[in-house]
């Protein structure tokens, strides 16, 4: 594990991605304590105050400190995206591995159905699910997880099929190993690496999707300072105070970039050929 970390830091993408994510993790954990002001404190005198000594990133339409809202809002954005991706990965990996293991007609039927489900654009599927389950952050998370599952199933299956055809798995079959040994000891450790990489990159999509649902009014609900919601609120005040819009936009982008960079870094670091 420490070995992996060392190799990760050696790749430029991995180093930058990890650094950004450490900062984001700190913000998620300690946001309320780091925030210079109370994010809900309304200050009518300070409405649309530009960035300066009092409000580092400026103040919004109610005079609330934008930086404080961002720092606190990280909690309602990033963990949700992370949870949605993990849930989607677990569902997808189970289906994908099962499909690869069953093989034959079952595999064909499962994969054709997954292809068909993937014909529904991810955002549309999430929208349909949220409108059924009801608005709210938790429901949005579940919807994103379900929307991600088919894609993860595809990835896992193709990796698992590839691993299944390796001679060391054949050797285990020839030895007469039990199915559980083959799946968990021979296949899974080798399937894990590409799936972890794919998952990491997908967190960035989840962050964006979650913010989009909130932006459309179906995800996190006011007065939460979720970043997508902040952008939605800020749109009508673009003329007076562009910073209330730009700050959360950049926060979303930085998070997405961080996970993308980490994913690319992991891809290099997890390549077993580089393990020397």
Partner 1 sequence: MTTPVLSIRNYTLDYLTAGGPVRVLQDIALDIAPGEVLGLVGESGSGKSSLAWAIMRHLPKNAREVSGDIRLGDTDLRALPGRDLTRVRGRRIGMVFQDPSTSLNPTLPVGRQITETLVITRGLSQAEAWTEALALLGHVELRNPEALMKRYPHEISGGEKQRILIATAFGCRPELIVFDEPTTALDVITGARILELFTRLRAETGVAALYISHDLALVSRVADRVAVMKHGKLVEEAPADRIFRAPQHPETQILVDAVPRPERRLVHDQPGERVLLAAQDISVRYARRRLFRPAPPPATQAVGFNVRAGEILGVVGESGSGKSSIARALTGLADFSGSIRFDGRPIAAGRAMDRQYRRAVQIVFQHPDSSLNPRQKVGEILARPLRLFGGNVSDVGRLLEQVRLPASFADRWPHQLSGGQKQRVAIARAFAAKPSLVICDEITAPLDVSVQASIIELLLTLRAETGTAYLFITHDLNLIRQIAHRIAVMRGGELVDLLPIDAIDAEHVHPYTRDLIAASPTPVG
Partner 2 sequence: MSLSWILRRLLLIVYTVFVVSVLVFGITQVLPADAAVTLLGENATADALAAIRDRLGLGDPIWMQYLRWVGHAVTGDFGLSMRTGQPVGPEMVAALGRSLLLAFAAIALMLVVAVPLGVVAAVRQGKLADTLTSLVSYLGVAFPEFVTATLFAMLLADTLQWLPATGYVSPFEDPWGAVRHLALPVLTASVILVAHVSRMVRSETLDVLHSDYVRAARLKGLPERTVLTRHALRNALLPVVTIVALDVGYLLGGIIVIEEIFAIPGIGRQLMVAITARDLPSIQAGALIMSATYAVANTLADVAYAFLDKRIRYD
Residues forming contacts to partner 1 in the complex (CB under 8 A) are 166-168, 170-171, 173-177, 186, 189-190, 272-273, 275-276
Q: Are 153 and 99 in contact (CB under 8 A)?
A: yes
Q: Residue from 76, 156, 199, 204 that binds partner 2 (CB under 8 A)?
A: 204
- Cβ-based nearer residue to partner 1, 30 or 181: 181
Rule CB under 8 A: is residue 262 a binding residue for partner 2? no
- Candidate ranges 74-82, 95-103, 109-117, 175-183; the one touching partner 2 (CB under 8 A): 109-117
Rule CB under 8 A: is residue 112 a binding residue for partner 2? yes
- Binding partner at 273 among partner 1, partner 2, none, C-beta below 5 to 8 Å by kind: partner 1
Q: Residue from 239, 272, 273, 276 that binds partner 2 (CB under 8 A)?
A: 239
Q: Are 43 and 64 in contact (CB under 8 A)?
A: yes
- Cβ-based nearer residue to partner 1, 170 or 235: 170
- Binding partner at 215 among partner 2, partner 1, none, C-beta below 5 to 8 Å by kind: partner 2
- Cβ-based nearer residue to partner 2, 71 or 261: 261
The tally of CA atoms less than 13 A away on the side-chain side of residue 7 is: 15
Q: Residue from 211, 224, 241, 269 that binds partner 2 (CB under 8 A)?
A: 211
- Binding partner at 123 among partner 2, partner 1, none, C-beta below 5 to 8 Å by kind: partner 2
Q: Residue from 145, 197, 231, 262 that binds partner 2 (CB under 8 A)?
A: 231
# of chain residues touching partner 2 (CB under 8 A) = 42
DSSP string for the chain: -HHHHHHHHHSHHHHHHHHHHHHHHHHHHHHHHH-SS-TT---GGGTTPPSSSSSTT-B-TT--BHHHHHHHHHHHHHHHHHHHHHHHHHHHHHHHHHHHHH-HHHHHHHHHHHHHHTTS-HHHHHHHHHHHH-SSHHHHHHHHHHHHHHHHHHHHHHHHHHHHTSHHHHHHHHHT--HHHIIIIIIHHHHHHHHHHHHHHHHHHHHHHHHHHHHTTSSS-TTS--HHHHHHHHGGGTTT-THHHHHHHHHHHHHHHHHHHHHHHHHHHT-GGG--
- Binding partner at 170 among partner 2, partner 1, none, C-beta below 5 to 8 Å by kind: partner 1
Binding site for partner 2 (CB under 8 A): 112-113, 115-124, 127-129, 131-132, 134, 204, 208-209, 211-212, 215-216, 228, 231-232, 235, 238-239, 242, 245-246, 249, 252-254, 256-257, 260-261
């Amino acid at each position: 594990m420490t070995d992996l970390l060392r190799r990760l830091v050696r790749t430029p993408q991995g180093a930058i991605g990890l650094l950004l994510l450490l900062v984001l993790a700190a913000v998620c954990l300690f946001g309320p304590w780091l925030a210079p002001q109370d994010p809900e404190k309304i200050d009518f005198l300070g409405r649309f105050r530009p960035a300066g000594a009092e409000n580092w990133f400026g103040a919004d339409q109610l005079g609330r400190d934008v930086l404080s809202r961002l720092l606190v809002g990280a909690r309602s954005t990033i963990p949700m995206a992370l949870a949605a991706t993990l849930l989607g990965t677990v569902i997808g990996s189970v289906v994908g591995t099962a499909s690869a293991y069953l093989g034959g007609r079952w595999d064909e039927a499962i994969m054709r159905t997954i292809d068909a489900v993937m014909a529904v654009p991810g955002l549309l599927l999430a929208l349909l699910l949220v409108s059924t389950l009801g608005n709210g952050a938790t429901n949005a998370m579940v919807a994103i997880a379900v929307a991600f599952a088919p894609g993860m199933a595809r990835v896992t299956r193709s990796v698992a099929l590839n691993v299944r055809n390796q001679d060391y798995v054949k050797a285990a079959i020839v030895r007469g190993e039990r199915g559980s040994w083959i799946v968990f000891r021979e296949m899974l450790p080798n399937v894990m690496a590409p799936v972890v990489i794919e998952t990491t990159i997908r967190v960035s999509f989840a962050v964006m999707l979650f913010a989009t649902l909130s932006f459309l009014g179906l995800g996190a609900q006011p007065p939460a300072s979720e970043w997508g919601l902040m952008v939605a609120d800020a749109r009508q005040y673009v003329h007076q105070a562009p910073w209330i819009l730009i700050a959360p936009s950049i926060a979303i982008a930085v998070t997405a970039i961080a996970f993308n960079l980490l994913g690319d870094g992991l891809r290099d670091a997890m390549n077993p050929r580089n393990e020397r």
